[in-house]
Structure formats: structure tokens, C-alpha cells
Structure 1
């Protein structure tokens, strides 16, 4: 029997087999977990050279626009965290839409406009270094932050493409403290004559607090009588305090003077408790003296221009009190002079000029007692005098309170400003269009833009 033996093939075919295996490996799809990571939201915090803190929030997919937010007034001794949006619901909606957010705490509390402007610009620089250059930058802020935003827009137009002021003090510091003095002067003259209650030039915070408490006690007593209520309404008119200023209370009818006066009384109690005295004392220390005056002010003419003039006349008549006599008492009472250096300080750091270079949109509630809606008339006048009227638009929401905007209303305003920054044209900024944009952005919260034109600001702008 013959045995057949099979020999192995030569090894020359093995390199070809290895090459095929390598090609197969290269062509095999990489498992999903090995791909580049998806973009993720980022939250950054830190400290600026001034000592102010900053906060940055970016979405997973950034749309290229950064929003620089300026917060409102914070009293001395209160927490001062950095924030980059007015409230959490609005912040979530903005991040969902792809906006990046940045803001600082400002280096100090109080009337810190001088410090806030460079701190906000430093926060913007930090954003560029840590996140990247934005395709578009919009500045926005509320209350005192609306003044900070306006200052950035007027003085640093190359840093922003547009600005949005929410319930902002766009009349500026000089006008604000003059208007506050008008109210406290009227209250002291009519409710506490001869009391010697100090209205300006406080020795310290304790002195201011005591003065405010004394005037507040006179307010409480006066509210119990018809003549006292009429005089409180007169003081409220000089500060442009609206008859509906708290969204938690029912809206009074236009001729319900008793309810409207009660609301004004509550607002003046709040003004006397903090802004008119304790907050003023902090501002005076910062400015180097008293920065407001009422020398030469005609309170009779101011009252005649007030939106609540009819209410005041009605309450005086019901009380059997002479409005003319009280106006003469205001005219004859000793007046207050300002410290020129303090006025110069506020005029330099916290008084808008109206010289806009980029578009600005202002929105305001119609029932704001702290920063009355009439401040928008003051800024409109300043912008017009500067020849920049086409750059400014103003819109109003039908609600009471200070800065009581819904997330929908804020996003509707931001979208309107961004459209202007992107196209060079305001287009339709009617209440109907603003409400439509607001509802599209957030159908779950109110959209209350209305056709409205505020009356004249009580005091001259400068």
C-alpha cells in the first residue's frame, strides 16, 4: 500500500492575509463611545481683578450671541453674588434657545455705577478668554442695572451690538435723587412741620435710619385722617407714584381715589423706610455729599403736570382742605441746596447723556412706584436732544410693580432687540408684535405689552 503525504503550503501567502485583516480593522466603524464627546453646557465662576465675582453659563450648542446682564441695586450689608440673568425661569429659556450668559457682582454694593461699568466689561473680557469671541453681544439689565446697561451702551458702543433696559433708572442719578427729595420734602413740610427731620446730609446710616423712621411715623398718623390722606396723595403725585403699584392687590378703578391713595401710601412708606433715607445716605457717602436740590422748584406747576392731579384735587375737596394753602406752604418752606462736587460725581458716572451709538430698547411696567414709568419720558427727551431718536424704542407692559416682567415678556424684548441688531431695522415694534414674540418664546407666562405713552417726568432731566 502506498501512503500519500500532504505537505503544508509555503509561508509566502501570510503577509497578504495580515494585510487583509488590517484593512478590515481600519474599515470597521468605531464604537459610539469612542467618538468625540458631544458639546456640554458649562458653568464658570471666578473673581475679577477688582474683587468682583463673575458667572458664565453656556448652552450645549451656542448660537453665537452672548447676553451681558447687569443686576439691580443691592443695599450695603446684603449678599452680592454674581448673576447672569434676571431670574431662573428666564435663564433656563435663554440657555434652551442657545444664548450664552455672563454677568458680574460689581465690586461693591450700593449706587456702584462707577464700579459696575468696568466690572461688567471685565466679565465680558473673561467670557471671550474662556469661551470665545461672540458673534453678537447684547447688554441688558434691570433697575439700577438698566442704568449700568445704558452707560455701557453710551460710553462703550464698540463693546456691544445693542442694549435692553428693564425698568431702568434711565433718568439717571441726579434726577432720581431730586425726585426722591421732592416726595420727602412734601411729606415733612405738610405732615411734620417744624420737626427738623433731616432729609439730606446724614451723619451716618444710623442717622438716616432714624430720620426715615420719624417721617414714617408721621405718615402712619396722617393716613388715619382725611386731610392726612390728601396730603400723602399730593406728595405721591410729586414723585409720580401710580395708584396701582402692587400686583398682589386688585387694580382700582380710575375714579376709585380712596383705593388708589391707599396704594400710594404703601409705596411712600416703602420709599421712606429705605430708598429715601438709608439708600440715600450710602449714595451721599459715595458722591461726597448731598447730590440733590429743590431750590427754584415750582411744585404747583409740577402737580399740574401730574397724572394724578385729579385724584389730589378730589381728596382735598373731600377733606375740606385748601390745596392752594398747602402748595403755598411748599413754596414758602426752606429749600435744600446740593453739594456741587456730589452733583458732578453723579453727572459723570450715573447720568445718561442720550448719545446712543447702538440700538437700545427700554421696557417698563406702567405701575412702577420705585422707578416710575415717567423716567422713560426723561430719557426719550435726552436721546432726542442728542439727535439719536431712531436708535431708541420704548415699550410698556400693563402690570403693577417694579420689574415685574414675565419670562415671555423679557424674551420677546430680547428677540426684538436682536432683530434690530442683526438687520439694521426695528421693523414692527408694536405691542401686538412684541406679544406675539413673547408668546412664541414662552406660551406659559403672560404677554402684556400695551399701547402707552407716559406723562412728562416731574423734574428736569439734569
Structure 2
């Protein structure tokens, strides 16, 4: 059985051709803020400029501009060049090209054009720094709003929206400058407690290091920029190599020749490598369904055994292609900004992490005896210790509260391997407490005024739920990686209709001051293949439970 990683949209380069159909102006080369260069054609005005730090931006609005602008924050872009030798991750070249909305990085202007045609303005920055850039993005977005209002003085409403890392930018913008923002759209959100994603990526890399290659780095990158980049690229290569070897041994249970002494001891005990792979996924919280593995289907002749014994590990294998690479990039960058190691698992109880799932996945883990041995091997592996001073700096680099103060539409994917659905659940749970407190305050106020004013709901979450069946198999019985990606899987794989539905829902709430009742939201979501279900929930972060 063979399975390979596929190039993720996480590494999508912003194509120069993305704005060919609309952008007709050049971005000034000056590193100082100046009036943007604008051109108008067919009643559409497009402006390109550069902020005070040199970050390029684009702004677009038509003659029928209705006064509402969407300020876009793009997702993560690596801060280092990645060579083609690390395919399918590379080649990638650092870019700070501006994006005015979703789809631009893939050359798809459908959403942007539809919003402009409907009378909305759109704008977005490329930011002066890539990867972890919350401070730079905040400054750029504040400056961009000012520039847009100066060029289009009839602007009345601002909706901040973003995807992935961009949701941190959007949330940070409204938390620090509530007077500038009237609404939010958070898609495949990465905004979360500051240590949650650090632990998500760190736990996964630690598991790979503990079992499959002890030379894999979880943290402790060099402070020298050249050496650090070499270390990151080497780590990505090691992760990809291990994934390839695990793929080759999925059926046989063979272990990589790079396995640690603990891994080789498990191999000698007859425990298949796929069981340890699944344990890594469970302890980190990686989804057990992936783009091509639904967890319930099996190839011909193995329809019952495959879903129970093999599929969970195959899903972890496919998802780990994103998690391992992203962790190698983001943890190193986090250490650079914080000034030291940021991942710490010295107090982590991995046995407790999987206690609720070891029975569910008993067959795939090869039974209780094997599971105990896998966990014992992990317990005997030296832990990672963070630098206290570096950890203390994390809140200042992100510092999100996660409170909802403006009408907010969130789109979340149930089986997102990069920004887990747990992020959305964190938002939902937090807002549940926030709304309950507001309701209690309203009741207390009503006892004095004898007039009850119910709090207004400010959060709508639209779920891309994972389909029950979507896996396809080759004649050899392997998952068909050329088949369509399953609904509710992958990272930020939303359709143009889904983006537009979320945008227009947020705009309507901003204009009316509230969201409609549940019925219209359910209908609007269903039309674009999403779900609005207040009773639906996903597990919380493993590191927070």
C-alpha cells in the first residue's frame, strides 16, 4: 500500500497572474507610506500602494460602492525559501504580494469580483514579514483602513476577514481597535490560546522523534538565520522521508530504518509502525479522517477490516504531511521571535491524552498490550524543555482574548489537519460563557428597571462537516489520492459560494445590528454545503483538556 503527501494550499504561492483580470496599477517601490496609485476602468477603481514599512496593499471599489469594505488578511506564508528538492512542499519563494480577498493566491477572482459587483469594497495587504507576523499585520491593517477611507470617503462600515493565520490578524484588529471594525469573518481559524497550536505541532513532531527518527528537531533551532534555515529545511526533509517509509510499511507494519531505539524495540515486539503512528496522531489531536480517508470505507475484500485496523493510521499519515512541515516552520519562527525554545512537554501525560480513545481504536493500536508498550516507549523518551523567558513572550506576540464584541461569522472544517476544529470550539465555548454572563447581567438590570433587554447573539458558526463516505481506492487497494477531496476535510478548502455566503451574512448583520433567526441561517448555510448546528461540537484541544 502506498500513500504520499500532497502539496498543501498552505504553501500556495501568490501568483503574479492572480490579479491580471483586474489590477492595472503598479505598487510604488518606496518604503514610505504615500498616496496609492489608482486607475479606473469600466467604473471600477483599483489602487495599489505601500505602507510605512513597505508592505504592499491593494484596494478595489466600484462606482456603486455601498460604504462597506472587507479588509482581508491572508493565511500563512513561510518566511524561508523552500527548494524543489523538498517536493511536494517546494519549490516556494518568499513573497509579500498583496491579496485583496480569498482566492487571489490561486488566481481565482470569483469572490472578489462578486463582492465588488455587489457594491462592496475590498482591500488587503501583503505584509512586510511572512510567517508569524501578528504585529506587522496589525499595523498594516490599521494603516490600510485609513488609506481606504481616505481614497473612498463614503466608507461607513469595515468588516475584517481572514483565513488561517489571517484570523489572528482580524481578531487582533478588532480587539485592539474596536472603533475601526464593525464585523468579522473568521475562516478555518488559527486564533486560539497562545500555546495550543504550539503544543499541537510540537506533540506531533515529538512523537515522530520519539519513535521514527531521533534526529528530528522539535525545537532548539539556531539563532543564526542561515543555520536556522538549513535546520528547518533538513527537518522538513526528515519528516517527508519518514512519511515515505511509513507509507511503504503500512500493510506490513515495517518500521523506518531511522527508527529510534525505542521504536526498534517495539518493532522487535511485533508491534506495527502504523500503531505507533496512530498513537502520535491521537496524542497530538490530529484528525483521524483526512482528505482521502473517511475512516469507514475499505478496498474490495477488506471492507470491514480496513476501517478498523488500517484507515486511522492512513489518515494520520496523510494529515501529518501538513502538520510535520508546518511545525518545522512555525516552531522555528516562534523561537526566533520569542528568543528561545517555546515547546515544553515535561509535564504532559500522553497516556491520559489517549485514554478516551484507546478502546475506540484498539484494533488499529494493536490491542491494549501494544498500546501500553507504545506509551511506555514514549514515557522513556527525554522530554523537551522550553525557555521560560521565551514562553513568557508568547502572549505579547499574539495576546488574543478571543472575545466576540462584533457580529462574527466563523467557518470551520470538522477535519482540518492544520488549524484543528478545536480552535473553533474554543471560540464557541468562550462565547457561550460570554453570552451567559451577558444574559445574567441583563436579568440583574431588569430587576432594577423592570424592563428586560435580551443580549444579542454576535456569533454564527458555519460548519463544513466531514462526509460519512468519500474514500476511493486503486486496484491495488491503496487510497486514491487523485480522487476528489472529501467534504469537511483539508485546510480552508471553501468554495466561492461559501465565502460569499459568509461575507454577505456578516455584512447583513453589521447593517441590521443582529443576525436573523436560526431558520434563515440554516437555509443559507445548506444552500452552499455548510451546516448551522448549535448542538454540534468537536473535541477541545488535547493540550487544554
Q: When the two structures are superposed, what TM-score results if normalisation uses the length of structure 1? A: 0.81
C-alpha distance 435-404 of structure 1, shift in aligned 2 (>3 A): farther
Say yes or no: does 1:294 pair with 2:345.
Answer: yes
Match of 1:283 in 2: 334
Give, in whole Å, the separation in 1 of the partners of 2:365 and 2:67: 58
Give, in whole Å, the separation in 2 of the partners of 1:364 and 1:329: 35
**Structure 1 regions of 5+ residues with no counterpart?**
1-36, 440-445
Match of 1:342 among 387, 390, 411: 390
Which has the larger Rg?
1
SS of equivalent residue, structure 2 residue 195: helix
Match of 2:503 among 414, 419, 422: 414
Say yes or no: does 1:217 pair with 2:241.
Answer: yes
SS of equivalent residue, structure 1 residue 67: strand
SS of equivalent residue, structure 2 residue 235: helix
Match of 1:205 among 212, 222, 229: 229
Q: Give the CA deviation at 1:44.
A: 0.4
Say yes or no: does 1:313 pair with 2:362.
Answer: yes
Give, in whole Å, the separation in 2 of the partners of 1:207 and 1:316: 32
Q: Give the CA deviation at 1:172.
A: 4.5
**Structure 2 regions of 5+ residues with no counterpart?**
1-39, 82-93, 104-108, 223-227, 254-271, 298-303, 439-456, 466-487
The answer as to whether partners of 1:413 and 1:438 remain within 8 angstroms in 2 is no
The answer as to whether partners of 1:354 and 1:385 remain within 8 angstroms in 2 is no
Match of 1:91 among 112, 128, 147: 112
Give, in whole Å, the separation in 2 of the partners of 1:133 and 1:331: 62
User: How well do the aligned residues superpose, as a CA RMSD in angstroms?
Assistant: 2.6
How many correspondences in the alignment?
410
**After superposition, what is the alpha-carbon deviation per residue over 1:7-57, rounded to whole angstroms, capped at 9, x for unaligned?**
xxxxxxxxxxxxxxxxxxxxxxxxxxxxxx998111100111111011001
Give, in whole Å, the separation in 2 of the partners of 1:433 and 1:112: 34
Give, in whole Å, the separation in 2 of the partners of 1:267 and 1:403: 14
Q: Relative to structure 2, which stretch is displaced further, 209-218 or 103-112?
A: 209-218
Match of 1:34 in 2: none
C-alpha distance 374-355 of structure 1, shift in aligned 2 (>3 A): closer
Q: When the two structures are superposed, what TM-score results if normalisation uses the length of structure 2? A: 0.70
Match of 2:378 among 330, 354, 365: 330
**After superposition, what is the alpha-carbon deviation per residue over 1:363-395, rounded to whole angstroms, capped at 9, x for unaligned?**
111121111111112233444556678433322
SS of equivalent residue, structure 1 residue 415: helix
Say yes or no: does 1:262 pair with 2:305.
Answer: no
Q: Give the CA deviation at 1:105.
A: 0.9
C-alpha distance 341-133 of structure 1, shift in aligned 2 (>3 A): farther
The answer as to whether partners of 2:290 and 2:318 remain within 8 angstroms in 1 is no
Match of 1:163 in 2: 184
Give, in whole Å, the separation in 1 of the partners of 2:316 and 2:175: 34
The answer as to whether partners of 1:147 and 1:172 remain within 8 angstroms in 2 is no
C-alpha distance 201-384 of structure 1, shift in aligned 2 (>3 A): farther
C-alpha distance 305-49 of structure 1, shift in aligned 2 (>3 A): farther
SS of equivalent residue, structure 1 residue 235: helix
Give, in whole Å, the separation in 2 of the partners of 1:325 and 1:96: 61
Q: Give the CA deviation at 1:200.
A: 0.2
